[in-house]
Amino acid sequence: MSGADFVPLSLTPLLIGIFAAIACALPGNFLVLRRQALIGDAISHVVLPGIVVAFLLTGMIAAWPMMLGAAGAALVAVALIEAIRRLGRIEPGAAMGVIFTTMFAGGVLLLEQTDTSSVHLDVEHALYGNLESLIWLDATGWSSLLDPQALAYLPPELPRMAVTLLVVSLFTWLLWRPLKLSTFDEGFARTMGVRTGLLGLALVVMAALAAVAAFDAVGSIIVIAMFICPPAAARLMSNRLEAQICWSIVFATLSAVLGYVIAGYGPLWLGLEDAVSAAGMIATVSGLILGVTAVAGPCRTRSGAPSEG
Amino acid sequence: MLWQALTLQLGYNATLVALGAALLGVSSGVTGTFLFLRKRALVSDAISHATLPGVALAFMVMVALGGEGRNLPGLLVGSALSAWAGLLCVTWLTRHTRLAEDAAIGAVLSVFFGLGVVLLTVIQTMGTGKQAGLEGFLLGSTAGMLQTDALIIAVGGALALACIVLLRRPMTLVAFDPEYAQSRGLPVARIDLAMMGLVMAVTVIGLKIVGLILIVALLIIPAVTGRFWTDRSDRVALLAGLFGGLAGYLGAAISAVAPNLPTGPIIVLASFAFFVVSFILAPGRGVLAELFRYLRFQRRVHIRQGLLALAQGQPIYEPLTLRLLKHAGLARADGVATGKGRAHAAKALRDEKRWEVLRADHAHEAAASHYDGLRDIETVLTPDQIAEIDRRIGPPRQVVQ
């Protein structure tokens, strides 16, 4: 395919997909190791009421109010889950289930009650996103990458996603030692002076940031899939955290690229006319990768654990 | 209007939906209880999301065979099959790899859901107009529910309840103590699978009314709500069924009253309302009860410490202690003990000495283990034993003024 087709139609969705996948996979590594993988699931559900409330307050579909609303909703959800868990002495999974379903239901209800027919805001969009529509119409070919006039009309999701990825990477890099320490041995980390409670909250906030930014661009399926599948697959590839992170980045990139390409061109190869959902296909590919590593990954079994009959 | 809806006078369709939702609520509440007690509440999230590709595939198969794609029984069979596949994936990943259950749940739910979305877009390209209604399975849609649909829901719910009644004892045993159940010779893995099968059945039945994203709420929230009121598992199950049924009924009735009130979310919010009330008001585990317990405890500690201070002639600076002592008529505002206060203080000091003797004596080890600084010594020793300890302490001495 020539640059004249590829750059305007596929380059930006592909890059956004890759950035979103990596930004979610990075905190996902720690969430999976800390057995908090489903926080990502909960966050991606509560983003919906946050966005709807932001829309009701500001009356417009703009990026920043919606991101703030979603982030606020994520924090409210985490606080409520903690409150139910501690005050009601309910196990964390059930507390999470109570809160995220209720908030999602509230979001759906609010959405149905408000007149959003004039704006592009509905449940399906929130779930699937619309990666394919993030095209860069002003580009004419590879040379547009150096053309400031065309660059000014990049879809705004791309720089936003890039900044998010940068923030998440910086967070992981700067807090690497305390994060690693508190993930594997929280008690030891605390005796070393790491404020583990604060660090755990910061991790959740980072995850929420990645989820909200990615959600805006690609919908919540990718968010949940990328939080869990690439890190889980990477976990089956290595015993070392550094290697696991690298693997997860590779897997996230691979899922984004393969998923996008298969969704866009696979049906054409099969003789069908229309493309299928890229977000869904990316999630599916990441699941296939996880399946392969679960069958053949070098570190797939629990080391030292007795084999169960 | 709402009253009419609640008394089932809003027409045939609304009545069907309300009864169906109530039945669904009862069976999901009872089923969810066992899931919750087994601490696997979120497995239901994976199961419910895993139904989507099955629904889409069943639709495609039925259309390919030249039938009507929206045939509810066909779609439900498809959803059951793919939910079962998802469940097996979760079980396999947890048992055969090092991944924890939460990671397996998250992976399965996102991947199956993604695959389902892909299939939905395929269906959209297949033919025109035929796909309408499949999106309804995401959030449920009760508009245009047929009598056969309601019958399927009712019969399915009743069957699930019957299975629960049959399996309740082994499921309770496995939920509380799987090792013990194993040692009794119960097939724990198979009972777990049966429990999940029931969850799957409820999910599939609920697809039409509340949709696959929110059915989790009906499995989790009523069970958690019931748990606040009692410590007995059978009563938790009954209460969860009651709360779930009420929420389903109320939710369906409310949503029938006005347009733009989708049934599924209203049912979820209704059950959350029950949850909030229980969370705050339940005796024993509720927040208010907990708060009162804490305040009572604080009061006892302060009065005890205040009395000991009075007995030893130490000044009291803590304002809360002073206020409590004054309120109980044990001391004046300036911290000087009243007559009653002096008597209680002397008793408190003597009890403290008795506890000291008691705890030094190995013969009273069992009684001494009850010491927490607050407990009255009369509640652990007989009068004879106290007299014996008093003999060892000696008679009361004059306090030096």
**B-chain residue closest to A113, CA distance:** B260
Q: What is the pTM of this model?
A: 0.86
Asked whether the beta carbons of B24 and B206 are under 8 A apart, the reply is yes
Q: Using an 8 Å CB-CB cutoff, list chain B residues near A108.
A: 139, 214, 262, 264-265
- What pLDDT is attached to residue A307? 47
Q: Which of B378, B215, B101, B84 is nearest to A32 (CA)?
A: B101
Contacts of B148-151 with C-beta under 8 Å, sequence gap 24+, read B148/B72, B149/B20, B149/B72, B149/B208, B150/B16, B150/B17, B150/B19, B150/B20
CB contact under 8 A, B287 and A284: no
What are the pLDDT digits (tens) for B290-328? 899 999 999 999 999 999 888 888 888 888 998 998 888
Judge whether A41 is closer than 8 Å to chain B, CB to CB.
yes
What are the pLDDT digits (tens) for B248-258? 999 988 888 87
b vs e for B136-174, b when ≥16 Cβ sit within 10 Å of the residue's Cβ? bbbbbbbeebeeebbebbbebbeebbebbeebbebbbbb
Residue A308, pLDDT above cutoff 50: no
Asked whether the beta carbons of B272 and B266 are under 8 A apart, the reply is no
b vs e for A120-151, b when ≥16 Cβ sit within 10 Å of the residue's Cβ? ebebeebbbbbbbebebeebeeeebeeeeebe
Residue A234, pLDDT above cutoff 90: yes
**Portion 53-112 of B in contact with A at CB < 8 A:** 92-93, 95-100, 102-112
* Poorest-pLDDT segment among A132-141, A247-256, B193-202: A132-141
A97, A108, A281 member nearest B216 (Cβ): A97
The listed range with the strongest mean pLDDT (A64-73, A92-101, B312-321) is A92-101
Q: Using an 8 Å CB-CB cutoff, list chain B residues near A47.
A: none
Task: State mean pLDDT over B265-275.
Answer: 94
DSSP state of A10: I
Judge whether A159 is closer than 8 Å to chain B, CB to CB.
no
Q: Using an 8 Å CB-CB cutoff, list chain A residues near B269.
A: 102, 105-106, 109
Cα–Cα distance between A23 and A166 in angstroms, integer? 8
CB contact under 8 A, A280 and B116: yes
Q: What is the ipTM of this complex?
A: 0.90
CB contact under 8 A, A91 and B41: yes
Interface size A-B, in CB pairs within 8 Å, comes to 218
Cα–Cα distance between A42 and A28 in angstroms, integer? 13
Q: Residue B290 has which token pair?
A: 């907990």
**Portion 331-350 of B in contact with A at CB < 8 A:** none
Task: State mean pLDDT over B191-210.
Answer: 88
> Vertex A72, ends A67 and A75: CA angle to 5°?
130
Of residues B89 and A149, more confidence is placed in: B89
Cα–Cα distance between B49 and B110 in angstroms, integer? 8
Cα–Cα distance between A111 and B264 in angstroms, integer? 13
Cα–Cα distance between A256 and B162 in angstroms, integer? 46
- What pLDDT is attached to residue B358? 85
Q: Using an 8 Å CB-CB cutoff, list chain B residues near A124.
A: 135, 138
Inter-CA distances, B397 with A124, B346, B358, Å: 83, 11, 20
pLDDT band for position A309 (cuts 50, 70, 90) = very low
Judge whether B260 is closer than 8 Å to chain A, CB to CB.
yes
Mean predicted lDDT score pLDDT of chain A: 85
b vs e for A272-308, b when ≥16 Cβ sit within 10 Å of the residue's Cβ? eeebbbbbbbbbbbbbbbbbebbeebebbeeeeeeee
Judge whether B275 is closer than 8 Å to chain A, CB to CB.
yes
Residue A236 C-alpha, separation from nearest chain B C-alpha, in angstroms: 7
Judge whether A235 is closer than 8 Å to chain B, CB to CB.
yes
Q: Using an 8 Å CB-CB cutoff, list chain B residues near A297.
A: 97
Q: Using an 8 Å CB-CB cutoff, list chain B residues near A263.
A: 118
pLDDT band for position B40 (cuts 50, 70, 90) = confident
